[in-house]
Amino acid sequence: MDPMIFVQYSPILIRGFGLTILAWLLGTVFGMALGLVIALVQRYAPKPVTWVIQAYIEIVRGTPFLVQLFVLYYGGPMVGLRLDPLPAGIVGLTIYGSPYFAEIFRSGFRAVPHGQIEAARAIGMAEPAIVRRILLPLGLVSALPALVNFSIILTKETVILSIITVPELMYQVQRMSTETFRFLEGNFVLALFFWGLVEVISRFGRRIETRITRHLIERP
């Protein structure tokens, strides 16, 4: 390994890593938001609507992210959807993650004991208030570990954005490798940066988990 390469390439590697984090963060946040909406609609909408959404879920889950990104970036302009690489990548991550997040929220909601929903109905609470005050807070707690887990999986999907020329970490590492003919260093950088990111996310996830389950653990 040649440490001088890292010194020389550190500015573009760091910039690339910044973009990786940005794309991941926005893709995850938007994907979660879309997934939450999907899960709520699936729970409350009439049957025909849920069939349409189920079809969306099956299609997105049944195709590789790479294919989705190609269709969005190269196929989009044919239907008038012209996106720059980075926005296309973020939209792609959002779409790709949404059905998984939706399933995570769905099972989180299912974990809320039905009796606690009934108790709210029995005192005359309206459904929107029940969702906001009981279903969401309790469902999120159950969903949290799986949400963090899938967010971690998504960090590694960002490398695919290099295919549509988003200058994120993978893109810059490839550039470094082809310019210097040193491939070991590139893989080392990828491993190190992703390991660091994943570590931070999972620690953060555990911190939140301890915080929000503080009152829920039985300690009579």
Which residues are near another protein by CB under 8 A? 113, 115-116, 118-127, 129, 133-134, 137-138, 141, 215-220
In angstroms, what is the minimal distance from the CB of 22 to another protein? Answer: 33
In angstroms, what is the minimal distance from the CB of 205 to another protein? Answer: 19
CA dihedral angle for residue 32, residue 33, residue 36, residue 38, rounded to 10 degrees: -110
Q: Between residues 61 and 133, which has the closer beta carbon with respect to another protein?
A: 133
Q: Between residues 131 and 197, which has the closer beta carbon with respect to another protein?
A: 131
In angstroms, what is the minimal distance from the CB of 169 to another protein? Answer: 39
In angstroms, what is the minimal distance from the CB of 216 to another protein? Answer: 5
Q: Between residues 93 and 135, which has the closer beta carbon with respect to another protein?
A: 135
| 52 close to 207: Cβ distance less than 8 angstroms | no
DSSP 9: H
Q: Between residues 140 and 198, which has the closer beta carbon with respect to another protein?
A: 140
| 138 close to 110: Cβ distance less than 8 angstroms | no
Alpha-carbon gap, residue 146 to 42, rounded angstroms: 19
Measured at the CA of 23, the angle between CA 213 and CA 164, to 5 degrees, comes to: 145
- Distance, CA of 82 to chain centre: 23
- Tokens, residue 212: 């929000």
